[in-house]
Amino acid sequence: MNSVTRGGTRWKRFAVVMVPSVAATAAIGVALSQGALAASFSVSGQSFKVHVDKLDADGMIQYGAIDAEKNGTPHPVSVSAFNSADLTNMCQSVVTHVPGLGDVTLVLKAGGGGKPAHADKIYIDVAQLKADAEFRDINIGVAAGQSSKGPGMKGGKEQSDPNGFAQEADHATLTDVDQTAWATSAGTFKLNGLNMSLHRGSGKGIECY
């Protein structure tokens, strides 16, 4: 992987195009590496990839919803929400196409070295998920608004049906997780061992998976 380097007009063009599209993700860097703070990050008009070696969570609910971009484009998602979660070897990547430079990928890594990242009241708006999963005390087919095991529905501007299909569990363990998401929010999110980097290009070997 070749890291993006500074220099002249090319860097200025990169900064103008790249910074607004990844600001919501990059802004969590310094603050969250130093402690547990409220966090909400998404990429307007873009999905992003997340890989986690292991997600170990208490209090889960999953239900359907619609995410909408600022231009109104809808995206059906499955919201996975947890009261608390430990994430081992987490990687998040988002690709932005920069005119004159091509694809540039922002990669965020945390939760390695035996110190998992930790989140409380975390909501992940998932478009695609691949993992090995184990649930304890699971209920399938509950009404989303009547779940008692997880943190409840997100609320706010979320487009979802409280009477719609949902499932809940006391505990969830997901391993070798690859997912594409549109947004993530959490009451607190502590990213132990945070490392962020920029790379030229995209695809396998540069993105998280």
Provide the pLDDT confidence category of residue 44 given band limits of 50, 70 and 90. Answer: low
What pLDDT sits at residue 39? 56
Does the residue 82 lie in any domain? yes
Which domain does 25 fall in, by range?
8-200
Instruction: Return the DSSP state at 43.
Output: B
- Given a cut of 80, is residue 36 above it in pLDDT? no
Q: What is the pTM of this model?
A: 0.80
Inside any domain, residue 156: yes
Structural domain tally of the chain? 1
Q: What percent of the chain has pLDDT over 70?
A: 78
Is the residue at 3 inside a domain?
no
DSSP codes joined into one string, 70-136: TT--EEEEEEEEEEEEEEEEEEEEEEEEETTTEEEEEEEEES-TT--EEEEEEEEEEEEEEEEEEEE
Q: Are 204 and 105 in contact (CB under 8 A)?
A: no
Quick: pLDDT tens for 133-174.
999 999 999 999 999 999 999 987 788 999 999 999 999 999
Domain for residue 206, yes or no? no
In whole angstroms, give the CA distance from residue 49 to residue 22.
13
Output Rg (C-alpha) for the chain, integer angstroms.
Answer: 17
